[in-house]
């Protein structure tokens, strides 16, 4: 919203109701499996049914000797050799030992050996006794397993398939796992992430640094947006923030087109040459890796680049991002949502305009203490989780593997639907930054004193002295030094 005192759009915003918000769905939990114990039956060794000098073979398709008498492929348990069987062959019914039916291959003794019934019967009795002993041993083994007093041991994972994943559960769409839960209560004082403020010349960012007692990490600036000449080709304000002058990062807010342009022309690629020239302008001024906040606060109606047709607008954004990267590949493209506006002016959901992960590096939120102001912790949290809320933006960034930013945040004077001098808002924003510092690219307080703007100023002049004091306690150099001494 902020960044210009000349546009009629800089007047305070009327925010839509969040009554149509829907709760996000939960993650489905995985299912595990335990050990089910030994199988119900164990394979038993096959007892010998002939003399030791002629071990049987399992192949029923032997070509040696006479033809097989079997009529099936599988053994039929519980039956033994029949008396009067043809010498050198198994019967068609098989045996209880599980041998396959069919003729055994030839033996060196020949296939016409005379039969000796008594010895044959004795061998059958011995074979049956041996089979009985094997069955008995198997049963005893099962009983021993079942009577083990200790818990069953899980089987070793098979090497034939993937091992179970014992690492952190990934977030939505295979993204990095969510951070550990933050302990309840306010965050410890101190800044452990990139922080800054708005810094359009002639604003003096050095005055902000002197007040906080620490250097800034980022300066947010805005181009003059009334023509392509100013948007894409002018060195202002970049010349004032060359790396040799300012060591921090530069975040640039850019419209998708001047007021004379439109999203359809942009989507057809007719503005690509301007955006390619803008990448050259950044490079010329030593800022080829700047953050570019394209079409910021698109879901409000105070800037002319809000979507008329959402699909066309997305294509326009994609063209602009691609053209800038063509000449400044190190640029980081930022997709920026205005808090308290769950639907765009055309009625579409705020997230319908997201142009796609390949065109975005940072997902950010501009948020101010207004519509309604956060006068209690409960109100802050309620507003934070609506579809356009800052907490929702952070969650979206995390789910898509993007960094999160808050390039504009601040107080709003009480006579313009704001909370005025509200130290609680400063505290809650500090807590939010701490909770998300693992993905926080930067945050910048918007310090403005103009009568036509939000009048959020903490210094020059200090319009909100209580909140200014709280800011120093949480964000100032003294707070940082205290935190460091405590080992945080």
Q: What is the pLDDT of residues 209-262, one digit of tens each?
A: 999 999 999 999 999 999 999 999 999 999 999 999 999 999 999 999 999 999
> 213 and 334 in one domain?
yes
- Token pair belonging to 305: 């680049």
Buried-exposed string 309-346: b where 16+ CB fall within 10 A, e elsewhere = ebebbbbbbbbbbbbbbebbeebbbbbbbbbbbbbbee
88 and 223 housed in the same domain: no
**Whether residue 100 is found in the same domain as residue 211:** no
> 205: domain range?
193-485
Cβ 116 vs Cβ 82: under 8 Å: no
Asked if 340 and 421 sit in the same domain, the reply is yes
Tell me, yes or no, whether 199 and 314 share the same domain: yes
Residue 221: per-residue pLDDT: 98
Q: Does one domain contain both 197 and 273?
A: yes
- Mark whether 90 and 229 lie in a shared domain: no
Asked if residue 354 belongs to a domain, the reply is yes
The verdict on 306 and 447 lying in the same domain is yes
| Rounded distance between C-alpha atoms, residue 439 and residue 338, angstroms | 19
Residue by residue, DSSP assigns 183-201 as PSSPPPSS--S-EEEE--T
Give the pair of three-digit tokens for residue 181: 């839960």
- Whether residues 291 and 200 share a domain: the answer is yes
| Number of CB atoms found within 10 A of residue 301's CB | 14
Percent of the chain beyond pLDDT 90? 58
Does residue 177 sit within a domain? no
Two structure tokens written together for 45: 């060794």
124 & 209 share domain: no
- Residue 411 forms part of a structural domain: yes
Per the CB < 8 A criterion, the answer to whether 456 and 411 are in contact is: yes
Q: Could you tell me the CATH number of the domain that includes residue 430?
A: 3.20.20.80
Q: Specify if 139 maps to a domain.
A: no
Tokens standing for 380?
Answer: 């802050």
Long-range CB contacts for residues 66-74, cutoff 8 Å, separation at least 24: 66/103, 66/111, 67/103, 68/101, 68/102, 68/103, 69/101, 69/102, 69/103, 70/94, 70/100, 70/101, 70/102, 71/101, 72/101, 73/100, 73/101
Tens digits of per-residue pLDDT, 144-168?
434 444 333 333 333 333 323 323 3
What does each C-alpha distance from 159 to 37, 162, 163, 207, 445 come to in angstroms? 19, 7, 8, 65, 56
Query: Which DSSP state fits 249?
Result: E
In a domain, 257, yes or no: yes
Domain assignment of residue 4, yes or no: no
Count of C-beta atoms within a 10 Å radius of residue 53: 8
What residues contact residue 481 under an 8 Å CB cut-off, 6+ apart? none
d(CA 51, CA 131): 15
Clarify whether residues 268 and 353 are in a common domain: yes
Number of domains in the chain: 2
67 within a domain of the structure (yes/no)? no
Whether 42 is covered by a domain: the verdict is: no
- Looking at the fold, whether 240 and 98 belong to one and the same domain comes out as no
**pLDDT tens digits, 277-330:** 999 999 999 999 999 999 999 999 999 999 999 999 999 999 999 999 999 999
| Low pLDDT (below 50) residues in the chain | 3-123, 125-126, 134-135, 139-183, 481-488
pLDDT of residue 234: 98
């Amino acid at each position: 919203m902020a960044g210009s005192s000349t546009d009629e759009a800089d007047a305070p915003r009327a925010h839509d109701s969040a009554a149509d918000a829907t709760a996000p769905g939960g993650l489905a939990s995985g299912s595990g499996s335990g050990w089910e114990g030994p199988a119900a039956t164990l394979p038993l060794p096959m007892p010998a049914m002939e003399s030791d000098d002629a071990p049987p073979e399992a192949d029923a398709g032997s070509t040696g000797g006479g033809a097989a008498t079997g009529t099936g492929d599988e053994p039929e348990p519980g039956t033994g050799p029949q008396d009067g069987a043809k010498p050198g062959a198994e019967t068609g019914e098989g045996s209880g030992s599980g041998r396959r039916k069919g003729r055994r291959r030839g033996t060196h003794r020949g296939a016409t050996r005379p039969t000796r019934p008594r010895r044959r019967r004795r061998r059958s009795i011995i074979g049956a006794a041996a089979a009985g002993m094997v069955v008995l041993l198997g049963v005893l083994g099962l009983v021993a397993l079942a009577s083990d007093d200790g818990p069953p041991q899980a089987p070793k994972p098979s090497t034939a398939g993937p091992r179970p994943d014992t690492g952190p559960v990934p977030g939505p769409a295979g993204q990095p796992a969510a951070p550990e839960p933050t302990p309840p209560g306010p965050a410890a004082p101190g800044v452990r992430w990139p922080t800054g403020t708005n810094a359009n010349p002639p604003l003096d960012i050095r005055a902000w640094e002197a007040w906080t007692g620490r250097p800034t990490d980022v300066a947010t600036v805005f181009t003059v947006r009334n023509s392509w000449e100013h948007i894409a080709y002018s060195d202002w304000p970049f010349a004032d923030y060359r790396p040799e002058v300012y060591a921090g990062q530069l975040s640039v807010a850019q419209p998708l087109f001047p007021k004379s342009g439109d999203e359809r022309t942009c989507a057809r690629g007719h503005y690509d040459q301007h955006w390619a020239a803008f990448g050259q302008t950044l490079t010329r001024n030593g800022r080829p890796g700047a953050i570019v906040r394209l079409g910021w606060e698109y879901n409000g109606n105070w800037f002319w680049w809000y979507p008329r047709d959402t699909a066309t607008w997305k294509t326009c954004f994609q063209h602009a991002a691609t053209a800038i990267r063509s000449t400044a590949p190190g640029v980081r493209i930022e997709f920026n949502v205005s808090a308290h506006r769950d639907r765009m002016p055309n009625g579409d959901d705020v997230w319908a305009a997201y142009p796609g992960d390949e065109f975005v590096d940072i997902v950010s939120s501009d948020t101010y203490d207004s519509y309604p102001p956060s006068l209690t912790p409960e109100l802050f949290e309620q507003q934070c989780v609506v579809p356009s809320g800052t907490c929702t933006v952070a969650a979206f960034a995390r789910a898509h593997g993007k960094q999160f930013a808050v390039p504009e945040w601040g107080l709003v004077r009480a006579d313009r639907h704001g909370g005025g001098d509200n130290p609680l808002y400063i505290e809650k924003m500090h807590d939010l930054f701490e909770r998300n510092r693992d993905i926080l690219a930067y945050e910048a307080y918007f310090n403005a004193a103009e009568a036509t703007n939000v009048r959020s100023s903490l210094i020059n002049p200090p319009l909100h002295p209580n909140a200014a004091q709280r800011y120093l306690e949480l964000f100032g150099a003294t707070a940082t030094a205290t935190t460091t001494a405590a080992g945080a």
